[in-house]
Structure 1
Amino acid sequence: MNQDKTYDIVIYGGTAAGIAAAVQARKMGKSAVVIEPGRRIGGLTSGGLGDTDVGMKEAVGGLSMEFYRRVARKYTQEEACWLFEPKVALEVLQDWVTEYGIEVVYGERLDLADGVTKQGDTIVSIRMESGSIFKGSMFIDAGYEGDLMGKAGVSYFVGRESNAQYGETLNGIRPGNELPGGIDPYVVKGVPSSGLLDRVLPHRGGDIGDGDDKLQAYNFRMCLTNNPDNRVDIEKPEGYNEADYEILFRAIEQGQDSRFFKLNRVTPDKTDSNNNSGISTDYNGMNHGYAEADYQMREQMWEAHRIYQQGYVWTIQNHPRVPEEIRAVYRPWGLPLDEFTESGHWTAQLYIRESRRMIGDYVVTEHDVRLENPVPDSVGMGSFAMDSHHTQYYVNEDGHVSTEGGFYIRLAAPYPISYRALVPKRKECANLLVPVCVSATHAAYGSIRMEPVFMILGQSAAAAAVLALEADGVVQNVKADELQAILVQEHQVLYTDI
């Protein structure tokens, strides 16, 4: 590593947002490096999420729309393609890297102990665990975890704000249950002294609308195939714990006979398989603490999620407590031999739906998403439903197992996202932009946190970084009208008439 080299823009995180940022930087004539802690670029976009959470297509523009059009061309289609295989998404992103001469560094993780060097309010360089140092004039944190942002001394929040804090209705602890009624919570049914089932808490932890530090559930977006010539079975994993599936067995006993996981086709014989009910591929309750965890603890959580989810699929396909008619529906599906060849055909990308969220001078709230606030400095639009997965299992007032934390509220129209949500407070950091772990509440982030929006914001962040670079080096001083003029030229959608 050339430790004397200084880049115009250092991008930490090779997600789709990070690659879009690098493309925009190169289009504007600046040097950029993308530091990817793993071995594959694209994050969820190339990591199994092939059934795009697009919301309203009219709100997608710029490089984000260009990505989906390039995907379409790989399938010899005319219009933008929102359904695709992981390997095709990766190919499109790698095409960008080649075309724009983007430098990508793999396998380098930020030193979480003391990896950010600042002079006053300006980041000078970042150091990796390996000792490699990357110097830059501007920095973009495009990771799902917000590690660079968090370690740069920027304010952030983990968990769920109370409804009262911003006058919201969807935040904090949520009512509602997405399990069949009547599931007994005790190891021995009807015997409290036998203890609660694994992952079932005695109470939800507060009143409806109260805040807490818990995260909505993670899982893996599985790409599965039913093509026997391109399929390997998902075996019962080493470390399989049958007790982890007792809620599943009891849900089936109480009448659940479908929605165990999605089989959404992205091609005639491949899926993007996601969580689909209160007991599904989400490992509810087992990611709390992930945002602040060190790498070793995160790796343990990753492995626990893998064992649970592979074990869950094996259980649905094979376990005698699952009726044969259910097993028969899911048994034909396995891992494609032509996907994720570098990681045993199982995606390495855990679906980190939410981690840190920056607290800037402007916080996007439910009111912005509902178009109740004017946003004069839009740098892109969101349009997907406000969507949170479940946070935990607990014993409800009826004495049964209940989920908690989920919501899904469709929107009537797209909403603009303020530039100020991408930048920290001025006193905290002057040369950092954050297009993924943006300044937003849990409720609003439930809509923002979609891959098309991350690419939109990644592109806009890079354009702003270039403007700051060519002015006084302060991202908070970028003039909205100048930034918007560039973004319009780049076909970014900033407002719609929908």
Structure 2
Amino acid sequence: MESTTSTIAVPSHSLLLSPTRWRKVLPIASSRSDTSSAQPSTLRLLLKVSRSPYQQIRKRLYQSPNSAANSHPHGYIIGRTSPDSERTLEGRPLAPVESIMDMRLICAFLLLALLQQCSAESLSTTPDGSIQAIAQGPDSISLYWRHEGRSAKVFVNGQPRGSLEPNPAGPYSSKTIGSLLPNTFYTFAVGESSPTVTERTWAKLPAQESFDLLVIGGTASGWAAAVVGARMGMKVALVESTNRLGGMTSNGLGAVDMRNMAHSNGAFQDFRERVIEFYGGGEGRKLEPRVANAILKSMAYEQSCLSLFMKVQVTGAIREANCVRGAIVCDTISGAKGRLYAKVTIDATDCADFAATAGVEYRVGREPRTDCEPHAGYIYFDDAAQTILPGSTGCADAKVQSYAYLMTWKDYGDRPAPLVERPASYSPEDYTYSPEWAKTWNATSGVLPNSKFEINQHPFGIDKPGINFDYPCADAKRRCEIDAIYRERALGYLYFMQNERGHKNLGLADDEYLDSNNFPPGLYVREARRVIGEHLVTECEVTNARQYFHADSVGIAEYPMDSHAMEELRAPDDRLDKGEGEMYLSAFTPWSQVPYGVIVPRCVEGLLVTTAVSATHVAYGTLRLEAVRMSMGQAAAVAARLAITRGVSLRCVNPAWIQDSILSQHAYIYWFSDVTPMTRHFKAISFLGARGVLVSEPFRPDSALTEQEALAAVDRLVRLEGGMPQQIELQASQAEMPVTRGLFAKWLVQSKARVDATWRAAVARQSYEDVAPGSPYFEAVEALRAHRITPSLFANYKPGLFQPEAPMTRADAAQAIYLAHRAYAMSH
């Protein structure tokens, strides 16, 4: 067996339970294709690991849709000793994890567990933010250091590289290190004994290159699509016009918009776990922008087949007829132009500019009020009472909700905060009715770690409605003009608080956005174009979500449908609304499924859209949150991989294939309050839930299934497969009785036999000691076994026995139905 030397860093959480936590740290000061110059550093270790078994373990931890493991109907949870772990890998039984690791791997895992702190070293910021490194190009990185009146030497990869002197103009001194190699990691230290930070230069824009997946826009959905696509082995290019990743996640939206953190899943959950790790606890709900940016970058940097082209603008689409083949791009620093070809392209931008260029149809503005859109159109809304107010006409228009710059402020305590200059357009009347600081959204809901605040106060704060109606389709010049207005509006709010309200202790956080004067570079474009997709999400579909089952679900949404105002509220007096167009529909928004069709644009091939998705204005409010966007990006990457490997168009990708993969990546396509990715048979429960099978809330996975529930479940299965359910009448006394395994097997097989002839085949041999040929359950039990549904999948497994009189648990029933239905679902 061939062995190679691998550089491995620590997954910060359980090696067994977090498949996306693996971190491959490439050698410092070397390009990703050259490992010869790896240098030792504190808490980093080169382990000589046998490549073949290592990859087998990793395959079980994180499976691509084409892996043998993932094509088997049973999921994998490594390290489990219950019957649920009796699965197969490439057709062979899986032994307990202890027997498939040789001693070298066991030692490697133990060493990795001892080296967890090395993960912090791979970030571009120290925990306190006193040292930060920010890439500025393919050949340069800027280093920032809180000098506190001192001078210090700069070390790059352990070698001296000049010094930093005190900066009389501010708390940070900076130095841009040039002549670096593209796409290369560098470590930085300031002083002999300082902590280190790690940053990577970007890839150099080629004149022409081909990729499997091209992602346009490093937004939350774009970041997720690129990272997940690269994890699945695709060659990925990510094009972003700034030098930050994650969209609003790293541009000021530090207070996570999620009502119930139990809904956290998939790519967002992976990111959130790392936030919790960074801060040493908490929910991962509140984070600083510099921390978000550092973590998002590190997760992208882990993927050796992901090329980041930052500060690059897309100038055109490469098309063949109605099929997108790539994009024409331009480096905004050097002016170099390039043509990036791809088998699949994802437009993850806020405004869907690329999709529009490629010929995708879209909507801008508000639909009219209808029975299906009761809160659409021109509206005044009372958030407290959740009622529509007089004056609301419901008329459609082309207006879009207000944008804003979400600044990050800091409370400097007894020290004076850095004061901002009075903006040229400043008018105190814009903020006169703003609440006192302690009552603002910023000071109540926007509190961040380290005495910081997300600034998102509206009305009478940073929003300025009415000036951005043309923004979605405007050219770059006009957008810059609108950007400038919003920038002045935001700084005017700070000036007002510092000078009119006397809060001299509040100011821009001096350790945020160090390369853009402590001001976020990204405008919060809450809504712009919305593409016309294969599925249009409507308000009533969200409000009545429990009445719909989306078999094509690729995620969940849960934040209230909302909209910021379309017109400024000048004199509130006793008004109950916050301005025309503003609404927060908390009473009308349960959690809902996200259908695959919302990211598949009509009529154009080779393209997915993951931010400006297909929804009405009202419904878009529950889809525009960063966590949901990450889910849609994750699903898009999986769909791209499947389209490429199976040779089908994106609109012909079977959503069941996508679900099969993203469920293994711990994503949600349906939600139960008592079911998590660690729940036994999670994949089966979720897969069926999306289709309306066994959907009681809570799910109660370990409770016995009643006879009534069993009949309803198998009847639903038959209807899903195009048949008519069997007519079995239960006495009232029977309905709530636990169904036995034998009776459940009989009903399930009878139901499947109505729609699939392979379930009618006669069975001649006995497989279980307790189900003899004369048993009323014999044929059903043997039919299940012929279709690889055995009692080893059920609770309290006893070898050689079926236990036909034992009660069937709800989780075990879900697993059996899922396996019975899977072949149909994967082929229809």
Q: Smaller-chain TM-score range?
A: 0.7 to 0.9
Tell me, yes or no, if the aligned pair for 2:325 and 2:345 is still in contact at 8 Å: no
State yes or no: 1:385 paired with 2:560. yes
Helix, strand or coil at the partner of 1:214: coil
- Residue 597 (structure 2) pairs with residue 414 (structure 1): no
For structure 1, which segment, 88-97 or 222-231, has the greater mean C-alpha deviation from structure 2 after superposition? 222-231
Q: Which residue of 2 aligns with 1:226?
A: 411
Q: How far apart, in 1, do the equivalents of 2:415 and 2:344 lie?
A: 45
Q: Alignment identity in percent? A: 29
Poorly superposed stretches of 4+, deviation over 4 Å? 228-232, 256-261, 398-402
Equivalent residue letter for 2:504: R
The reply to whether residue 364 of structure 1 matches residue 518 of structure 2 is: no
Match of 1:213 among 385, 389, 398: 398
Tell me which moved more, 50-59 or 357-366: 50-59
Is contact 2:462–2:486 with CA below 8 Å preserved after alignment? no
* CA shift in 2, pair 1:257/1:270, >3 Å: closer
The one-letter code of the counterpart of 2:609 is: V
Pick from 360, 368, 375 the counterpart of residue 162 of structure 1.
Answer: 368
| Aligned residue runs from structure 1 range 299-448, under 5 A | 299-319=480-500, 327-328=501-502, 330-370=503-543, 371=545, 372-393=547-568, 403-410=579-586, 413-425=590-602, 428-448=603-623
Mapped contact 1:6–1:134 kept (Cα < 8 A): yes
User: Contact 1:62–1:493 (CA<8 Å) still a contact in 2?
Assistant: yes
Shift of 1:451: 0.6
Per-residue deviation, 1:304: 1.0
Query: C-alpha displacement at 1:167, in angstroms?
Result: 2.2
* Paired AA for residue 320 in structure 2: Q
Of 95, 98, 106, which aligns to 2:310? 106
Counterpart of 1:171 in structure 2 is 376
Structure 1 equivalent of residue 232 of structure 2: 28
Residue type of the partner of 1:246?
E
Which string of whole-angstrom CA distances, capped at 9 and with x for unpartnered residues, describes residues 159-199 of structure 1? 111123x7211211112479xxxxxxxxxxxxxxxxxxxxx
Partners of 1:62 and 1:283 in 2: CA distance: 34
Q: CA 1:54 to 1:402, structure 2 compared with 1: closer, same or farther past 3 Å? A: closer
Offset at residue 257 of structure 1 (A): 5.0
Q: 1:231 to 1:422 in 2, by over 3 A?
A: farther
Cα separation, 2, equivalents of 1:307 and 1:408: 26
Deviation at 1:395, TM superposition (A): 8.8
CA drift of 1:16 comes to 2.2
Q: Work out the CA distance in 1 between the residues paired with 2:490 and 2:509.
A: 16
3-state SS, counterpart of residue 579 of structure 2: strand
Structure-2 separation of matches of 1:35 and 1:94: 14
Q: TM-score scaled by structure 1?
A: 0.85
Deviation track 1:420-475 (CA, whole Å, cap 9, x = no partner) reads: 001011xx211111111110111011111101111111111100011011123411
Instruction: Report the Cα offset of residue 399 of structure 1.
Output: 13
Q: Which fold has the larger relative contact order, with Cα–Cα distance below 8 Å and residues 6 or more apart in sequence?
A: 1
Query: 2: CA distance between counterparts of 1:490 and 1:406?
Result: 36
Q: Which amino acid aligns with 1:271?
A: F
Map of 1:116 onto structure 2: 317
- In the superposition, relative to structure 1, how do residues 402 and 449 fare at CA in structure 2: closer, same or farther (>3 Å)? closer
Stretch moving more, 367-376 or 225-234: 225-234
CA contact (8 A) 1:216 1:353 kept: yes
AA paired with 1:224? W
The alignment's TM-score, normalised by the length of structure 2, stands at 0.52
For 1:55 and 1:170, how far apart are their aligned partners in 2?
21
Which AA in structure 1 matches 2:378? I
**Alignment-derived partner of residue 182 in structure 1:** none
Contact 1:173/1:209 (CA < 8 Å) preserved in 2? yes
Residues 292-303 of structure 1 mapped to structure 2, 5 A cutoff? 292-303=473-484
Question: Does the CA contact (< 8 Å) of 2:234 and 2:641 recur in 1?
Answer: yes
Separation (CA, whole Å) in 2 of partners of 1:265 and 1:56: 18
The residue number in structure 1 matching 2:654 is: 479
Closer, same or farther: CA 379–335 of 1 in aligned 2, 3 Å = same
2:452 corresponds, among 270, 291, 312, to 270
Instruction: Pick closer, same or farther for the CA change 1:222–1:241 going to 2, 3 Å.
Output: closer
Aligned partners of 1:459, 1:391: CA distance in 2, in Å?
Answer: 32
Q: For residues 62-109 of structure 1, give each alpha carbon's deviation from its aligned partner in whole angstroms, at most 9, with x where no partner exists.
A: 1111101111111122x6411011111111111112211221111111
- What displacement does 1:352 show? 0.6
Asked whether the equivalents of residues 404 and 464 of structure 2 are also in contact (C-alpha less than 8 Å), the reply is: yes
1:89-135 deviations in Å (ceiling 9; x for gaps): 11111111221122111111122xxx112111211221124532211
Q: For the Cα contact (< 8 Å) 1:65–1:80, is it kept in 2?
A: no
Aligned mates of 2:606, 2:627 — CA distance in 1? 24
1:231 touches 1:335 (CA, 8 Å); kept in 2? no
The reply to whether residue 150 of structure 1 matches residue 356 of structure 2 is yes
Q: 1:237 to 1:123 in 2, by over 3 A?
A: farther
CA contact 1:12–1:35 (8 Å) conserved in 2: yes
| Cα pair distance change 1:487/1:135, threshold 3 Å | same
Residue identity opposite 1:126 in structure 2: A
1:341 & 1:59 partners in 2: Cα distance?
33
1:230 Cα deviation (Å)? 8.8
Residue 272 of structure 2: aligned partner: 68
**Alignment partners' CA distance in 1, 2:214 and 2:430:** 46
Task: Quote how far apart the aligned CAs of 1:394 are.
Answer: 7.2
Distance in 1, Cα, partners of 2:414 & 2:505: 12
Q: What SS class does the counterpart of residue 126 from structure 1 fall into?
A: strand
Q: What residue identity is the alignment partner of 1:496?
A: W
Aligned pair partner of 1:85 in 270, 278, 288: 288
CA distance in 2, matches of 1:295, 1:346: 20
Deviation at 1:393, TM superposition (A): 3.0
Which whole-Å CA distance do the structure 1 matches of 2:641 and 2:557 have between them? 23
Q: What is the CA–CA distance in structure 2 between the aligned matches of 1:440 and 1:305, rounded to whole Å?
A: 26
Letter in 2 for 1:436: T
2:460 corresponds in structure 1 to: 279
Separation in 2, partners of 1:388, 1:220: 16
SS in structure 2 of the partner of residue 163 of structure 1: coil
1:346–1:234 distance in 2 versus 1, CA, 3 Å: farther
What is the Cα deviation at residue 408 of structure 1?
A: 0.5
The one-letter code matched in structure 2 to 1:351 is: Y
Return closer, same or farther for 1:379/1:295 CA change in 2, 3 Å cut-off: same
Alpha-carbon offset, residue 357 of structure 1: 0.6
CA-based RMSD: 2.5
The 3 A distance-change label for structure 1 pair 399 and 66 is closer
Counterparts in 2 of 1:402 and 1:54: CA distance versus 1, 3 Å: closer
Q: 1:6 to 1:413 in 2, by over 3 A?
A: same
Determine the C-alpha separation between the residues in 1 that align with 2:213 and 2:416.
Answer: 42
Q: Does the 8 Å contact 1:261/1:275 carry over to 2? A: yes
Q: 1:229 to 1:127 in 2, by over 3 A?
A: farther
Equivalent of 1:138 in 344, 357, 361: 344
How far, CA to CA, are the matches of 1:488 and 1:241 in structure 2?
51
- Shift in alpha-carbon separation, 1:262–1:5, aligned structure 2, 3 A: same
- Judging changes above 3 Å, is the alpha-carbon distance between structure 1 residues 80 and 22 closer, same or farther for their aligned structure 2 residues? farther
The amino acid of 2:359's aligned partner reads G
CA distance in 2, matches of 1:300, 1:497: 46
**1:13-52 to 2 correspondence within 5 Å?**
13-52=217-256
- Asked if 2 retains the 8 angstrom alpha-carbon contact of 1:97 and 1:103, the reply is no
Distance in 2, matches of 1:142 and 1:430, equals 16
CA distance in 1, matches of 2:648, 2:328: 21
Opposite residue 298 of structure 1, the aligned amino acid is: R
